[in-house]
């Protein structure tokens, strides 16, 4: 009998299949998904409460000082947390009441296997502000990247809780033709299928584990830093990405379900409170709609902090602080 030789393509495919199978097994049995997670912010009390809409939420509070409350909202990514707002929290801690939320599905907040949506995140912000005791006069709110869309939606729904809104590298400030791939996902109608595929139980955990390896986290963070990524942020991302249920919310993000395609027209443009955009360049979002927004809305102002690539609070906190202080003044 003659022995049939495998083609080079078959050999490659077999090798790929073995590699995928090995990673699936390693992800399930070889990776610790419950690493010890320290608090993201130092010198702050961590408070946990149950939101009627968003389940258990956790936030950090340093309320000892007097003055208008400052509320900090982090971004959304594979391993997000309140650590992203750590430089801002540290700068204002002790000079005014400061609070920072872990959004649903991240940090110490509930990471349940449920539907995550812009509406859920906006309501979580409102529930958090109510629980923190934001009262008459409202709070100054600073939000980062995609967290800006949720904060704007919340400000539109409950303007009484907001005195001002400052957005750092906000998503949604683009013309439609310049949307990034993740921003196009929901608007182009394939995000439901993408979420179902990426969230399939057999491989969703292994797929997520690839996103939160130290090498992957460092690679993606490098896109948001002019210099080297902040080592503390890298370390914390690795830890918070290896928690029970950590994959559920990021799957919605990666599939585009957390973006609001018309956020500029539906929310940003309708806000009447004082609003600031701190920006420069960003590998993941565009700002080409800013000139039109600023020219048509007197309540919006700009502060360019350069050079920066999306996380200026880590590399240029002094400049960010000056921009915020001038805005609030």
CATH number at residue 51: 3.40.50.1820
State the pLDDT confidence band at 2, using cuts at 50, 70 and 90.
low
Q: Within a domain: residue 35?
A: no
State the pLDDT confidence band at 135, using cuts at 50, 70 and 90.
confident
Q: What pLDDT does residue 203 have?
A: 47
Q: Within a domain: residue 150?
A: yes
Find the mean pLDDT for residues 79-108: 98
Q: What pLDDT does residue 234 have?
A: 98
Find the mean pLDDT for residues 59-82: 96
Q: What pLDDT does residue 221 have?
A: 98
Provide the percentage of residues in the chain whose pLDDT is more than 90.
Answer: 77
Of 81, 324, 286, 299, nearest in space to 169 by CA: 286
- Tell me the three state secondary structure of residue 250: helix
Q: Within a domain: residue 16?
A: no
Least confident of 113-122, 143-152, 196-205, 241-250: 196-205
- Beta strands 275-279 and 162-168: pairing type? parallel
Residues of the domain holding 124: 45-328
CA distance 277 to 281: 12
Rg of the chain in Å (alpha carbons):
21
Q: Write down how long the chain is.
A: 329
Which tens digits make up the pLDDT trace of 17-60? 555 556 455 465 567 889 999 999 999 999 999 999 999 999 99
Q: Within a domain: residue 29?
A: no
Contact predicate 173/293, CB 8 Å? yes
CA distance 35 to 61: 24
Helix H, strand E, coil C: the string for 120-174 is: HHHHHHHHHHHHHCCCCCCEEEEEECCHHHHHHHHHHHCHHHEEEEEEECCCCCC
Q: Within a domain: residue 284?
A: yes
Q: Within a domain: residue 277?
A: yes
Q: Within a domain: residue 39?
A: no
Domain count, the chain: 1
CA distance 1 to 13: 26
Q: Within a domain: residue 3?
A: no
Which tens digits make up the pLDDT trace of 75-90? 999 999 999 999 999 9
CA dist list (Å): 296 to 20, 52, 327: 52, 38, 19
Of 88, 77, 157, 87, nearest in space to 120 by CA: 157
């Amino acid at each position: 009998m003659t022995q049939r030789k495998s083609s080079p393509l078959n050999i490659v495919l077999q090798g790929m299949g073995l590699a995928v199978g090995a990673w699936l097994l390693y992800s399930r049995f070889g990776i610790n998904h419950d690493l010890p997670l320290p608090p993201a912010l130092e010198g702050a009390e961590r408070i946990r409460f149950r939101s009627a809409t968003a389940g258990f939420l956790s936030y950090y509070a340093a309320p000892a000082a007097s003055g208008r409350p400052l509320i900090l909202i982090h971004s959304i990514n594979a391993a997000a947390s309140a650590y992203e707002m750590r430089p801002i929290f540290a700068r204002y801690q002790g000079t005014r009441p400061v609070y920072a939320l872990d959004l649903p599905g991240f940090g110490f907040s509930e990471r349940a296997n449920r539907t995550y949506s812009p509406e859920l995140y906006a309501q979580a912000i409102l529930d958090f502000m109510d629980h923190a005791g934001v009262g008459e006069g409202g709070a100054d709110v600073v939000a980062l990247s995609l967290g800006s869309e949720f904060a704007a939606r919340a400000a539109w729904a409950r303007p009484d809780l907001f005195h001002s809104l400052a957005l750092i590298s906000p998503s949604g400030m683009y013309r439609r033709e310049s949307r990034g791939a993740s921003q196009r996902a929901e608007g182009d109608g394939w995000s439901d299928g993408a979420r179902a595929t990426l969230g399939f139980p057999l491989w969703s955990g292994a797929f997520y584990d690839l996103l939160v390896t130290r090498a992957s986290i460092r690679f993606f963070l490098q896109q948001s830093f002019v210099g080297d990524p902040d080592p503390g942020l890298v370390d914390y991302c690795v830890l918070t990405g290896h928690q029970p249920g950590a994959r559920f919310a990021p799957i919605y993000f990666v599939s585009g379900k957390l973006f609001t395609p018309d956020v500029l027209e539906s929310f940003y443009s309708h806000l009447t409170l004082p609003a600031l955009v701190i920006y420069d360049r960003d590998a993941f979002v565009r700002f080409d709609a800013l000139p039109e927004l600023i020219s048509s809305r007197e309540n919006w102002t700009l502060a360019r902090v350069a050079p920066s690539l999306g996380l200026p609070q880590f590399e240029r906190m002094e400049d960010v602080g000056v921009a915020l202080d001038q805005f609030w003044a």
